[in-house]
Amino acid sequence: MNKVPCQPELAGAVSPLTETVVTTDWQRRLPTLKGRQVVLRELRTSDAISLHALLTTEQVARFISQPPTTVDVFEKFIAWTHRQRTIGSYVCFAVTLRGFDTAIGIFQVRDLGQGFENAEWGFALGQAFWGTGVFLEGAQLVLEFVFDTLGVHRLEARAAILNGRGNGALQKLGAVQEGILRRSFFRDGRYLDQALYALLDADWRRKRMPTLGASVRVH
């Protein structure tokens, strides 16, 4: 999803998740999703400092929409995510590690206009955490939430063709490339081709990775 920061890098295997899924009133308060090494929670205003430092670097930002350019603008973005969650059109999780509450990335899910029957997601992760398994575990937590709590039927994502690792991440999660969106993403003065991916709820449940046998606690 290039309308918001997205397309992290991926490498390594993820540790199994450990707890059970519970339905939540996510519009009132976004739940906390916990894996073995990753904790996903609601964004806080104080996250603006670390997110600005980690997500505006050249390597992270080159294949995503322009992230907020200052800490102040990041704070406004965080306030906007809360408003959109309240009206039921969007959710955004901060990525943190167990034992460390600093936000190191984000996962976002946007309703495509049909009560979350169809949705689009995007993600961004600080470069220092690429290749550590953080992305894969966080993505699995989000997908569990998307399909089991939001009730999404079809989840879409866009990845710049030049972003080979981003495309590989989506494919490893079971997303199917459905086409090429020619010159659909403008970044740094040029238009880039994007691949359109989709993951269906039935596909996710059928191809769910074995590590998700025991899943995530939502509270």
Summarised one tens digit per residue, pLDDT across range 157-179 is 999 999 998 999 999 999 999 99
Query: For residue range 37-55, what is the model confidence (pLDDT) as tens digits?
Result: 999 999 999 999 999 999 9
According to DSSP, the β-strands at 118-125 and 100-111 are antiparallel
Report pTM. Answer: 0.84
Instruction: Place 209 in a pLDDT band, splitting at 50, 70 and 90.
Output: low
**Each residue's pLDDT tens digit, 53-89:** 999 999 999 988 889 999 999 999 999 999 999 999 9
Per-residue pLDDT for 98 more than 70? yes
What domains sit in the chain, N to C, each tagged with a CATH number?
33-218 (3.40.630.30)
Helix (H, G, I), strand (E, B) or coil at 76: helix
Phi, psi of 133 (to 5 degrees): 90, -10
The three-state secondary structure class of 165 is: helix
Alpha-carbon gap, residue 104 to 125, rounded angstroms: 6
Token pair of 210 as six digits: 């074995």
- Distance between CA atoms of residues 1 and 111, nearest Å: 12
Compute φ and ψ for 166, nearest 5 degrees.
-65, -40
